[in-house]
């Protein structure tokens, strides 16, 4: 292997809990909500799939199905999809729906997995090139910079910047070309068997990790160093 591609959410980084997400936005807005109500509202938002990077919706309303399928193809579609899911849950101020969306785009809302830095550093020391390939509707580069990982990433290929989302092999082709990498000498690492597994159609090797809270997956990425030799 000469190159490694990583997914973002659930692979290198994990989004905060729904309760932390909601609590932070309420605090910023100066809105008090009793603990039990906050917890129940956070659960409802999570069930609705309103937190990007969190759990998928248990059910996507029929009127949102098309928007949901195309959500990662542009910034506008991404915001519309998630704020629409969010609006299924009553909140005390309509402005909170956009505030919640904006919160999830901040570096403070994300934590790198405990072994992410060590693995990225190990790949750099071995001379491998690293790219990030993400289905997303916003620029995640500031998240990497804020958490000190940007220096270990050579290129970012983000779906909303190209109008193509995984598992479409075209997005992986763009990523490999940006790295100057041959697909059959490239490893794709992700947590979504359908989306990230699309790299196999291009000839990339694929390795999956479990999408778990960061504290529950302290060393899930370390196998990557063994796989690249």
DSSP letters of 18-86? Answer: HHHHHHHHHHHHT----HHHHHHHHHHHHHHT-STTSPPPS---GGGHHHHHTGGG-HHHHHHHHHHHH
Calpha distance 213→220 (Å, rounded): 11
Task: Quick: pLDDT tens for 104-133.
Answer: 999 999 999 999 999 999 999 999 999 999
Instruction: Report pLDDT for 146.
Output: 98
Q: How confident is the model at residue 229 (pLDDT cuts 50, 70, 90)?
A: confident
Nearest to 152 by CA among 178, 131, 136: 131
Task: Quick: pLDDT tens for 34-78.
Answer: 999 999 999 999 999 999 999 999 999 999 999 999 999 999 999
Please count the other Cβ atoms lying within 10 Å of the Cβ belonging to residue 117: 16
Calpha distance 57→41 (Å, rounded): 15
In the block, residue with structure tokens 């070309």 = 177
pTM: 0.96
Q: How confident is the model at residue 4 (pLDDT cuts 50, 70, 90)?
A: very high
CB 206 within 8 A of CB 196: yes
Catalogue all structural domains in the chain, each as residue range(s) with its CATH number: 3-14+111-227 (3.40.50.1000), 15-109 (no CATH)
CB 127 within 8 A of CB 23: no
């Amino acid at each position: 292997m000469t190159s490694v591609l990583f997914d973002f959410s659930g692979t290198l980084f994990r989004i905060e809990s729904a309760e932390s997400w909601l609590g932070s936005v309420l605090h910023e807005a100066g809105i008090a909500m009793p603990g039990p109500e906050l917890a129940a509202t956070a659960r409802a938002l999570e069930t609705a799939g309103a937190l990007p990077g969190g759990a998928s919706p248990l059910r996507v309303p029929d009127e949102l199905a098309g928007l949901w399928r195309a959500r990662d193809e542009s910034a506008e579609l991404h915001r519309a999809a998630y704020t629409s899911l969010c609006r299924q849950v009553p909140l005390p101020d309509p402005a909170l729906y956009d505030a919640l969306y904006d919160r999830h785009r901040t570096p403070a809302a994300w934590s790198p997995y405990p072994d992410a830095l060590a693995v990225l550093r190990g790949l750099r020391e071995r001379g491998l090139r690293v790219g990030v390939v993400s289905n997303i509707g916003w620029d995640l580069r500031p998240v990497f910079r804020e958490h000190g990982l940007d220096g270990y990433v050579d290129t970012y290929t983000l779906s909303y910047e190209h109008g193509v989302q995984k598992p479409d092999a075209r997005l992986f082709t763009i990523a490999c070309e940006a790295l100057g990498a041959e697909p059959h000498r490239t490893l794709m690492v992700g947590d979504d068997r359908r989306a990230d597994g699309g790299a196999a159609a291009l000839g990339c090797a694929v390795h999956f990790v479990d999408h778990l809270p960061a504290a529950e997956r302290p060393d899930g990425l370390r196998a990557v160093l063994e796989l690249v030799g």
